[in-house]
């Protein structure tokens, strides 16, 4: 299929979004995670943190290091990360298995404390994030439309609110990538085998109250 269509047929005969076919980790992530609605606080916190670490890098780089990130940040359990301090930052900066960027590491600890505040206010991190879900699209996106999307009014509004609450590394593009990954939008394009399944899950997904 043409690059313009944004689709690729794998060796298994399955048609996928073309971005996902260059590495087995991408294929697994595309098929089993990307776009599927998520309401677990730990997973939501992990993803928004990893989107921050991805800034300036490829997502594949982060996927390859994800298990190391999980080990380094206590499985992204919010309270555990929030309790980390100077000693842990020093250890993380010496951890070659993760992205050793001081600003991003410190932001992760800082954002965990902000996540605790959101959880206290809304009952869960999920209840806060799902408030920003845009209306569901009536039709699947084509590649040309998706290719032009880097942010949306909803991701800009989410980013603005998070920044107001003193979150770090949460610009509108990062916020939109987070919304794509966590199923707040379905950006599997028209013709991708995962689009219909993801849309079906979105219809039956119970939004956190």
If residue 7 lies in a helix (H) or strand (E), which one and from where to where?
strand 7-9
Which of 26, 34, 38, 51 is catalytic? The answer is 51
Report residue 123 as tokens. 């009952």
Name the nearest CA neighbour of 185 among 156, 162, 159, 152: 152
Buried b (16+ CB within 10 A) or exposed e, 141-169: bebeebeeeebbebbeebbeebeeeebbb
One DSSP character per residue, 176-206 reads HHHHHHTTSS--PPTT-HHHHHHHHHHHH--
| Residue of 19, 59, 122, 132 with catalytic role | 59
Catalytic residue among 19, 29, 122, 132: 29
Nearest to 78 by CA among 47, 103, 41, 29: 41
Say whether 167 is catalytic. Answer: no
Question: Is there a catalytic annotation at residue 51?
Answer: yes
Count of Cβ atoms closer than 10 Å to residue 97 Cβ: 12
Nearest-CA neighbor of 172 among 187, 150, 188? 150
And the tokens for 187? 């950006």
Name the DSSP class of 9: E
What residues are labeled active site?
A: 29, 51, 59
């Amino acid at each position: 299929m043409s690059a313009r269509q944004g689709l690729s047929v794998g060796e298994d005969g399955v048609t996928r979004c073309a971005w996902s076919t260059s590495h087995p980790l991408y294929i697994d992530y595309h098929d089993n995670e990307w776009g599927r609605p998520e309401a677990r606080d730990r997973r939501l916190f992990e993803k928004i943190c990893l989107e921050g670490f991805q800034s300036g890098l490829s997502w594949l780089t982060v996927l390859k290091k994800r298990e190391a990130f999980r080990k380094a940040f206590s499985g992204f359990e919010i309270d555990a990360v929030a309790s980390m301090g100077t000693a842990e930052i020093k250890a993380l900066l010496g951890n070659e298995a993760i992205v050793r960027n001081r600003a991003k590491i410190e932001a992760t600890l800082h954002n965990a404390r902000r996540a605790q505040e959101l959880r206290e206010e809304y009952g869960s991190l999920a209840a806060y994030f799902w408030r920003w879900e845009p209306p569901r699209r009536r039709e699947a996106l084509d590649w040309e439309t998706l290719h032009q999307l880097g942010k949306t009014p909803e991701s800009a509004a989410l980013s603005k609110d998070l920044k107001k609450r003193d979150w770090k590394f949460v610009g509108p593009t990062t916020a939109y990538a987070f919304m794509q990954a966590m199923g707040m939008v379905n950006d599997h394009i028209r013709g991708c085998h995962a689009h219909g399944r993801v849309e079906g899950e979105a219809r039956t997904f119970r939004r956190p109250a």
